[in-house]
Amino acid sequence: MLEGKLYPIKLVERQFEDRISTIFPTHQGNWIINFKQQSKILKLDKNLKVIWERDGKAINKSYSYWRVIESPNEKFIAISRDDRFKIWDKNGKSIFTHKHEKWQNFSGSQNFFTLDNQHFINILPTRDMWCDVLQLRNTENFSVVNEIALQWGYSSYNFYATSSSNHVIISAACGQDDGMIFNVFIDNSKLKVKRWKDCEDLVPGNLSSDKTRLITGSHYGNEVAEYDVFNQEKIRSLKWGYLFDESEDGFGFQVEYIGDTSVLMMTREGKLLFIDMGKGIAKELLFQEEVIDFRRAFDSNILAYHSKKIALYNIDNDVPHGAKAGPNQLRLF
């Protein structure tokens, strides 16, 4: 049931000249950000201070958005574009480039470094747009050690790190009406792919902090659900009708764990809900500015972005409406 409202406290914000394209969290809790009309790439720390700035050498002019990630040991940076991916060293020097068929509009893939930093995983489009290729590479010289045809294509792919270096989850979104989730295992430098059952309606959010559960939204089911990442069994779920009137609004696609059992969900009409999956209750989050997207940050804070600005927010059930961040919390730029 709906149990009141929460008023997030802004801890820190950073303004940019250009609109944000993508934001990716690093394994250390930092952030990698690139932009829609500028070639620069930024790495920010947990408090949104700049660690480094790099020039991506080109501007994203396509509808296949660039993805920028960093290896767990911070040794490599991988940049995926519409027709190639590049590997930089930590100083921004290009050490490997692979050109490939061009991704179609609204399709594309991020890349992935395993937790032990031994392997690099990428997905390539092919001339047969319905048969993308999953590749496993070493991180010594980024040569291919194994590859497998996915029998799936024209999608936007995202990777989710589990607690194992030999297991990663991949989601494939094809437009707004269909999707797929795969478990990918590395066994003696060989890829093994297992598709989740009955996953076409699921829209993945992120993994729990212990990497054992995946939170999902749905296209049609009007449901938010938790799944065990090892056996794909549904742990628990909440239907919209349990919390609200069925005729009003509905769960959207964007959902993220921000605590052990608490999630943040954006509704179809753009409202933000704080949902306790364990207790089966929800509270509406009221921000002073429109939130375009959000990510889980350190200490269960929220990173929200508003077109040309990002901000860290704290949610505290006991903080009254209108409260301000204390002097030890507020950091201005």
Q: What is the pLDDT of residue 247?
A: 64
Q: What is the pLDDT of residue 104?
A: 81
| C-alpha to C-alpha distance for 319 and 75, rounded to whole angstroms | 41
| C-alpha to C-alpha distance for 60 and 211, rounded to whole angstroms | 32
The answer to whether the Cα torsion of 70, 71, 74, 80 is positive or negative is negative
Question: pTM for the complete prediction?
Answer: 0.89
| C-alpha to C-alpha distance for 256 and 269, rounded to whole angstroms | 17
3-state DSSP assignment of residue 199? coil
For residue 322, is it left (φ>0), alpha (ψ between -120 and 50) or beta? left
Query: Per the structure block, which two tokens stand in for 308?
Result: 């040309």
3 contacts 39 by C-beta, under 8 angstroms: no
Biggest CA–CA distance in the chain, Å, is 58
| CB atoms closer than 10 angstroms to residue 231 | 7
| C-alpha to C-alpha distance for 278 and 199, rounded to whole angstroms | 23
Domains parsed from the chain with CATH numbers: 1-16+203-333 (2.120.10.30), 21-200 (2.130.10.10)
Q: What is the pLDDT of residue 246?
A: 61
11 contacts 331 by C-beta, under 8 angstroms: yes
Closest CA to 151 of 129, 135, 131, 170: 131
| C-alpha to C-alpha distance for 314 and 240, rounded to whole angstroms | 25
Digitized pLDDT (tens) for each residue of the chain, 333 residues in all: 667 899 999 999 999 998 888 899 999 999 999 888 888 999 999 999 999 999 887 666 555 567 899 999 999 999 998 899 999 999 999 999 999 998 887 788 989 999 999 999 999 998 776 789 999 999 999 999 999 998 787 788 999 999 999 999 999 886 555 788 999 999 999 999 999 988 888 889 999 999 999 999 887 778 899 999 999 999 999 887 777 766 677 777 789 999 888 999 988 888 899 999 988 888 999 998 888 889 999 877 999 988 789 999 998 654 444 444 433 333 222
Q: What is the pLDDT of residue 62?
A: 58
